Amino acid sequence: MGWKIIVVSVILFLNAASTSSQSLAKPGCQEKCGELSIPYPFGVGNDDSDCFRDSHFHLVCNTSSGHPVLHFEGGNIPFLNISLEGQSTVYIWITIDCYNQSGRTYDGFQEIDITLGNILSFSSTRNKFTAIGCDTKAYMSSSLLSGDSFTSGCISFCTSDETLINGSCSGIGCCQTSIPNGLHTFNVSLSSFYNHTYSLDFNPCSYAFLADQDWFNNNFNFSSPDLMDLPKKRLLFRIGSSLALLLSFFASFWLYQLYKRIRSKKIKEKFFKQNGGLLLQQQISLEEGNFDNTKIFHGEELEKATDRYNVNRILGQGGQGTVYKGILTDGRIVAIKKSKKVEMVDEVQIKQFINELVVLSKINHRNVVKLLGCCLETEVPLLVYEFISSGTLFNHIHDRSDDDMPFTWDNRLRIATEVVGALSYLHSAASIPIYHRDVKSSNILLDDKYRAKVSDFGTSRPIAVDKTHLTTAVQGTLGYLDPQYFQSSQFTEKSDVYSFGVVLVELLTGEKPISSFRPGENKSLATYFLSSMEENRLFEILDAQVVKKGEKAEIEVVSNLAKRCLDLNGKNRPTMKEVTVELEGLRISKAHTLVQENHQEVDYCLINRPTCLQDSGSTSIGYKNLEKKAKPLDDQPLLCNPY
């Protein structure tokens, strides 16, 4: 839109009945808007008011600006006066087209539409279409009450302000044209020939409008500040409005960000409390530094580490949650376990979870995956563990590839010894005994040196030293589940022993714990193994690598140990510590035998074949070679646990 200064005379189409009898407002209706009288049939009121004849005469007295303005309901053209003799005066908008050295400015102001309504038309005798400017083309197109169309316009040009004559519109800097009868709506468009190139210093703008001729002649002056300073005022208005809008935008944006931060903080505090964060803080304060190696992570840090928990980062999924591979800001690769959402969590469960968290944070065993930290400010708790790179024992047994390590008998025996050593530590050497409750080959990880790491303590429970069992809802994995626990719901340390026995049988046979390829009751690996032992068919079901590389006596010792672990009566099963002693003893005995054999070989070489060491230059080198052969125990520091 343009600048609202132009006075226009309009004709009112009123019949005699509406004008002769009344010249004032109806009784009880508003008589004035400011100093302007409101005669009937015009009136101000609600839509159902009888203060006006019909909707065509419905006016509004707008006082929101502090100065009363009278205009039609739904319109914005203000009245200066209303005369029932047939004419009134209104304000309408001016069209503006300005230029600077770069070209046109104020895009969007070069064209306007004006509409009065069906009971009013612009006076063809009082008004003229007028254009002002020294490089100006102005056009008016309109519709008449008769339905006909009309187009007209004029051109003005000048090269010096000295040729301009105030009060005159002769075509030099100003031009005018008449309008037809019945004009009630029109469109004005404005442009230039040369972008005001020849008049920028004294006349950078063009103006077009419809105006009352008497008002124009009395008010028009080329030197009027209202006219000549209009571009500056418009520019100031646009810059001020834009700046205000920009400041408003930034203020709104800042307030929104502040709101988001406050809301996010409240949500985090809610989840932190819901997940037992306050209890954890209390426990940390009581530990006096024993929790220092376990970090409390922020949700954003772990979200970034997992690329917003991208499905491509999933390492595994289980009953307790999903494990993602994450890369922390310091470059460390970690495993982030996102717990499954639980609808209802009571205070007892929260306290239990926090106690387990504190206990696990203090576990420091080379064959247990280390807990690095946690995050409790998210909807579900997040646990951060060290990342173990070579996958699960399950995959190495059942889904082998050519790139896997040679799964020899010695490797199987070593892994079994490492696993049982870790479980024995949890049962008896940790500060509080811990039952794992989900021992299985898929919860045993292998690192880059193929050392075993017991993982996934989602169902683990610490137990008081003076207690022997936990009574819980049955949890675990089919095929590994202790039958006695399944029947009684009482989980004991011997329940973990049973599950380890199944893992031991997996290592011996290469078979899965549950398989539909085995008929009848033999679908269970434990049942299949025990029945084969009873029928003296053990070596028929063993893995080919075990039979090929293993010593028969060693295989029988381990098989009998597995049989004892799988005893249906938990009291007859060995403890984890007893299993550890037997497996470690077997490995030590095996290593001792190897050392003796190497000594005998060297002694024979020294006595009977002295030339066999000539390439080495001395017998001491021969003994160094012997030490290398006898060094498997030193190379595998995890064989014996230091407790």
Please give the share of the chain, as a percent, with pLDDT higher than 90: 28
How far apart are the C-alpha atoms of 196 and 192, rounded to whole Å?
7
Q: What is the pLDDT of residues 76-94, one digit of tens each?
A: 677 777 766 666 677 777 8
What are the beta bridge partners of residue 96? 207
The pTM for the full model equals 0.53
- Three-state DSSP class for residue 46: coil
Q: Which CATH class is domain 93-224?
A: mainly beta
What Rg value do the Cα atoms of the chain yield, rounded? 48
Say which residue the tokens 């010792």 belong to. 557
**Would you call 463 helix, strand, or coil by DSSP?**
coil
> Which of 157-166, 316-325, 625-634 shows the lowest mean pLDDT across its residues?
625-634
Q: Considering 438, 456, 496, 543, which one is annotated as catalytic?
A: 438
Mean pLDDT over 25-51 rounds to 84
pLDDT greater than 90 at residue 13: no
pLDDT for 45: 85
What are the pLDDT digits (tens) for 397-427? 998 776 667 789 999 999 999 999 999 999 8
Q: Which residue, chain included where needed, has tokens 């103006």?
A: 207
Binned at pLDDT 50, 70 and 90, residue 473 comes out as low
Residue 479 pLDDT grade (very low, low, confident, very high; cuts 50, 70, 90): very high
Residue 466 has pLDDT above 50, yes or no: no
The structure tokens 């063993």 sit at: 542
CATH of 390-579, one of 3.40.50.720, 2.130.10.10, 2.30.110.10, 1.10.510.10: 1.10.510.10
Q: What is the mean pLDDT of residues 600-612?
A: 44
Q: Which pLDDT score is estimated for 417? A: 97
More confident residue, 361 or 346: 361
Q: Is residue 96 predicted with pLDDT exceeding 90?
A: no
Q: What CATH superfamily is the domain 275-387?
A: Phosphorylase Kinase; domain 1 (3.30.200.20)
- Asked if 637 and 421 touch (Cβ cutoff 8 Å), the reply is no
Compute the average pLDDT of residues 277-282: 85
pLDDT category at 606 given cuts 50, 70, 90 is very low
Which pLDDT band, with edges at 50, 70 and 90, does 596 fall under? low
Reply yes or no on whether the pLDDT at 39 is more than 60. yes
Banded pLDDT at 640 (limits 50, 70, 90): very low
**Which is nearest to 319 in space by CA: 515, 481, 463, 514?**
481
| 192 contacts 113 by C-beta, under 8 angstroms | no
Distance CA 227, CA 211 (A): 15
**Active site includes 330?**
no
More confident site: 131 or 352:
131
